[in-house]
């Protein structure tokens, strides 16, 4: 038994911020994507089909078919430092560290794959953080994203004898700071295009439609972000028509509509020739924006008759997005910064 004098000297008194995003494979290869999808798609928050029914489908079909297709898609967007989602999230953490200064420790972690958010949280506690703000980088709340980060956080805390105090960043879908960051960043990008778009499509990640009827606020929060952003853009972009769509459908169930690929085809068929698309639900560019919107979206719109197409960047590490992140986090840290 330890006497007080023998007690290991644990550093204390520190404040930490842990940025969390979804996660991504370690490599754009079929085995790495299979490992990642096995973890991601086994989360009952993500696929809400009873385990005994879903696991045989996942192991017997999905994980034999999808990883090869997805690995090809990842290989088209993979950068010199790895997956864009990981590279950008890391750069956001470094940028935030520089903005907040050395009194706060900023780290980043992923819900699925590496670096695992639980490992990061434990490392922060061991380094002396006894107050930690966990910030899921999802502007809109959904059970499949925000809630599952909090679940994993709870699992990690359950394994700790001496837990840090925890705060979590609330969803910021309608926060004036967020809408202003999106307005400023998208305006800057629209002004830099070589053409003037007739329409701006705001594409959000989809969800099974039944989650809306079960009370998940995701759909309404996406709609509200879009409505506020459209109103904020209107003075500088008169006549720019703003449309909302939902991308990345998965499986056979009905997903939120309208689907992004249908909207692009419909716009082209209706005579729209110049179109821009943005993804205000994603805090960092990733497979879903760089491959699905920038590459496949362009093909879909061109096939439908469109001539000019631009997939705009997410907030990433731009000034508008980083200033927003700093302000949201300073506000949430409040007295922890004193």
Ligand X SMILES: C=CC1=C(C)c2cc3[nH]c(cc4nc(cc5[nH]c(cc1n2)c(C)c5CCC(=O)O)C(CCC(=O)O)=C4C)c(C)c3C=C
Smallest gap from Cβ 226 to Fe ion, in A, equals: 11
Q: Which does 220 bind (CB under 5 to 8 A by kind): ligand X, Fe ion, none?
A: Fe ion
Burial degree of 238 (CB within 10 A; 0-12, 13-18, 19+): exposed
Buried b (16+ CB within 10 A) or exposed e, 295-332: ebbbebbeebebebbbbbbbbbbbebbbbbbbbbbeeb
Q: Which of 142, 146, 140, 166 is nearest to 18 (CA)?
A: 166
- In the complex with ligand X, the residue whose CB is nearer, 22 or 181, is 22
- In the complex with ligand X, the residue whose CB is nearer, 77 or 133, is 77
Q: Which residues pair with 136 in a beta bridge?
A: 20
Indicate whether 61 belongs to the interface with Fe ion (CB under 5 A). Answer: no
Indicate whether 220 belongs to the interface with Fe ion (CB under 5 A). Answer: yes
- In the complex with ligand X, the residue whose CB is nearer, 47 or 315, is 47
Smallest gap from Cβ 248 to Fe ion, in A, equals: 6
Can you tell me the distance from the alpha carbon of 146 to that of 127, in angstroms, rounded to the nearest whole number? 26
- In the complex with Fe ion, the residue whose CB is nearer, 45 or 274, is 45
- In the complex with ligand X, the residue whose CB is nearer, 40 or 237, is 40
Smallest gap from Cβ 39 to ligand X, in A, equals: 11
Q: Which does 184 bind (CB under 5 to 8 A by kind): ligand X, Fe ion, none?
A: none
Q: In the complex, which residues of this chain contact ligand X (CB under 6 A)?
A: 22, 24, 37, 46-47, 66, 70, 83, 85, 138, 142, 144-145, 205, 207, 218, 248, 250, 281-282, 286-288
Indicate whether 191 belongs to the interface with Fe ion (CB under 5 A). Answer: no
User: Which residues contribute to the annotated binding site for Fe(2+)?
Assistant: 205, 288
Interacting residues of 329 by C-beta distance below 8 A, sequence separation 6+: 17, 96, 100, 133, 135, 169
Can you tell me the distance from the alpha carbon of 178 to that of 306, in angstroms, rounded to the nearest whole number? 31
Please count the residues of this chain forming the interface with Fe ion, following the rule CB under 5 A.
2
Indicate whether 214 belongs to the interface with Fe ion (CB under 5 A). Answer: no
Q: Which of 143, 72, 62 is nearest to 292 (CA)?
A: 72
Indicate whether 219 belongs to the interface with Fe ion (CB under 5 A). Answer: yes
Smallest gap from Cβ 25 to ligand X, in A, equals: 6
- From residue 152, alpha-carbon distances to 50, 123, 130, 313 in Å are 20, 15, 18, 29
């Amino acid at each position: 038994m330890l006497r007080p004098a023998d007690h290991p000297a644990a550093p204390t008194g520190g404040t930490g911020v842990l940025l969390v995003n979804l996660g991504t494979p370690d490599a754009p290869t079929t085995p790495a994507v299979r490992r990642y999808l096995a973890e991601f798609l086994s989360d009952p928050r993500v696929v809400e089909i009873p385990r005994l029914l879903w696991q045989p489908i996942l192991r017997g079909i999905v994980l034999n078919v999808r990883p090869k297709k997805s690995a090809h898609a990842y290989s088209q967007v993979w950068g010199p430092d790895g997956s864009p989602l990981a590279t950008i999230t890391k750069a956001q953490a470094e940028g935030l560290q520089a903005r907040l200064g050395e009194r706060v420790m900023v780290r980043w972690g992923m819900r699925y794959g590496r670096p695992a958010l639980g490992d990061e949280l434990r490392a922060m506690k061991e380094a002396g953080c006894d107050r930690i703000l966990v910030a899921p980088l999802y502007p809109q709340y959904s059970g499949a994203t925000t809630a599952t980060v909090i679940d994993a956080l709870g699992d990690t805390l359950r394994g700790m004898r001496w837990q840090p105090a925890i705060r979590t960043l609330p969803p910021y879908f309608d926060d004036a700071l967020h809408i202003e960051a999106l307005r400023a960043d998208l305006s800057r990008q629209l002004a830099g295009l070589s053409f003037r778009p007739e329409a701006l499509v705001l594409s959000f990640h989809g969800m099974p439609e039944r989650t809306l009827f079960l009370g998940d606020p995701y759909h309404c929060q996406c709609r509200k972000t879009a409505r506020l952003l459209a109103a904020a853009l209107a003075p500088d972009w008169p006549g720019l028509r703003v449309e909302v769509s939902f991308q990345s459908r998965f499986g056979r169930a009905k997903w939120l509509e309208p689907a992004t690929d249908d909207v692009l085809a419909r716009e082209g068929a209706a005579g729209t020739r110049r179109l821009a698309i943005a993804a205000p639900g994603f805090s960092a560019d990733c497979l879903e924006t760089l491959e699905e919107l920038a590459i496949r979206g362009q093909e879909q719109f061109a096939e439908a008759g469109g001539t000019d197409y631009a997939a705009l960047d997410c907030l990433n590490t731009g000034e508008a997005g980083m200033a927003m992140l700093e302000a949201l986090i300073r506000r949430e840290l409040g007295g922890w910064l004193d």
